[in-house]
Amino acid sequence: MEFTKMNGLGNDFIVVFGEKDLPIGVDKLAVDLCNRYFGIGADGLVYILPSERADFRMRIINSDGSEAEQCGNAIRCVAKFVFDNGHTDKQWLTIETLGAGVQQVELTVEDGKAAFIRVDMGEPILEGLRVPTTIDAERIVAHPIEVDGREFSFTAVSMGNPHAVIYVDDAAGFDLAAWGPKLETHPMFPRKTNVEFVTVNSRNHTDMRVWERGAGPTLACGTGACATVVSSVLNGLTDREVTVSLKGGDLLIEWSEVDNHVYMTGPAAEVFRGKL
C-alpha cells in the first residue's frame, strides 16, 4: 500500500489514493497505522475514492477505527493531494463526503501547487435531534450540561458531524484530557460528539482547542472551527467572519448571510510518502 502523510494545521492523516472502495477490516487497519509508536502515526486514515456524484469521494477512518462523517482539515488535504499529483487540473473541485454530501472546493495555486483551499462546508445543522443530541429543540444555545459535578454550557452545531461548543476563560490552557472524553461520551450525545473549548478575543478572533470524537486532542479541527463561528454568532459573541486560532495555526471562517453556508479557508501540506 502506497500512502502519503499529510496535515492540515497539524491535524494529520494517512492518505491513500487509487482504491475503488474501503478495504475489509479498515477499522483495525486504521488503529494499527495511526498508532504513533508502532505504526505510521496519524489522527486518521483517509481514502480518496471514485465518486458518481462528484470529482472525488472521501472516507475518513479515525484513529480509534470509527468513521467520521466529515473533516475540514482532511478535505483540504484531499484537494491538495489530487491537484498537486495531477489527478485533476481543476481549481474548482467537488468532493463527496459521508455526512455533509458533495462539497465545493476552491484552490489558490502558487508555483503549480495548491497553497490555500477554500471549502464550502454547507449549511450548519442546528436542530437538536439532527445534530444529534437527545434534546428536541430548534436550536440548542448555551444549554447546561453537567459532568462529574461541574456544569458547562454548550451550543450544539452539526457540520455534517456533531459538535458541542463550550466557552472557557483560557482555551489554550484548558485541561482537554480531563473533560474532553467525558463530554464526548455524555448520554446527551447519542453518536458522541466533538467538543470545542473556545475563548473569544474579539468580534473577529477566537482561540479554540478541540477534543475530537474518535481521535482525542488534535492540533486542529476544521469542522470544529466552523461550528465555533456558528455558535459564536448565535451567542452574540462574534461577527460572521472570524479567524479561529488553533494549536496548529489559523483558519479563516465565514458564515454567509447570503446563502447560510459556512466557508473555511486554510492550508494543507504533504509531510512524506511511503510504502507499506
Radius of gyration of the chain measured on its C-alpha atoms: 18
Q: Does 77 qualify as catalytic in the annotation?
A: no
Which residues carry a binding-site annotation for substrate? Answer: 11, 62, 72-73, 161, 194, 212-213, 222-223
Q: Does 221 qualify as catalytic in the annotation?
A: yes
Closest of 151, 147, 154 to residue 178, by C-alpha: 147
Instruction: Give the burial class of 22: count Cβ atoms within 10 A of its Cβ; 0-12 exposed, 13-18 middle, 19 or more buried.
Output: middle
Q: What is the DSSP string of 198-244?
A: EEEEETTEEEEEEEETTTEEES--HHHHHHHHHHHHHTTSS-SEEEE
- Catalytic residue (choose from 34, 71, 77, 226): 71
Is 262 in contact with 230 (CB distance < 8 Å)?
yes
Positions marked catalytic: 71, 221
